[in-house]
Amino acid sequence: MTETKHRVRSHIEANPGVHFNAVSRELDIATGQTQYHVRRLIKNGVLRRLEVCGRTHYFPAGYSEREQAAIALLRRETTREVVVLLLDDETDQPAELAESIGVARSTVEWHLSNLIEYDLAEKVHEGRSVSVRLTEPNLLGDLLVEIDPSLPDRLVDRFSRLVDSLLDQ
């Protein structure tokens, strides 16, 4: 295995769910080199890829598709905050989640819809009231400890929050 391929593999193993640009940027290698090595590692069954919310995330072999989706979503700062609030039983109401986090309800609904799409959460309708329940609290709790959003992921979330706040005014 070449040194560059080994670095790509090691980086993805150490950062499951990392997206393509982060691999190139953090290893300081050309995009073409990253593409070549990632394709080869996927072809050899060493890596897996999953597109979540318009971003392709890379994982070492061994993670289920549900785990991969959970990791990709938890790399988003706002999704993490929603999950933490739900795990802590702070609230299960979308409007209260939005208020606790300090974002628009539509933003919380978007993050919830992603969790629901991958069967990690569900909405429970009781009369006119809607609450949210995590379907995989143990999995999400374990992964929260393992996964930390990268700086670019945090910046994207914070930019989204800024736009939300400007639209609310």
Instruction: For residue range 107-122, list pLDDT tens digits in order.
Output: 999 999 999 999 999 9
pLDDT tens for each residue of 58-94: 999 999 999 999 999 998 889 999 999 999 887 789 9
CB atoms within 10 A of CB 44: 12
How many domains, in total, are found in the chain? Answer: 2
Residue ranges making up the domain that contains 21:
3-63
The burial class, CB within 10 Å (0-12 / 13-18 / 19+), for 28 is: exposed
Say yes or no: 53 and 75 in one domain: no
Same domain, 106 and 54: no
* Percentage of the residues of the chain whose pLDDT score is greater than 90: 64
- Per-residue pLDDT band at 49 (split at 50, 70, 90): very high
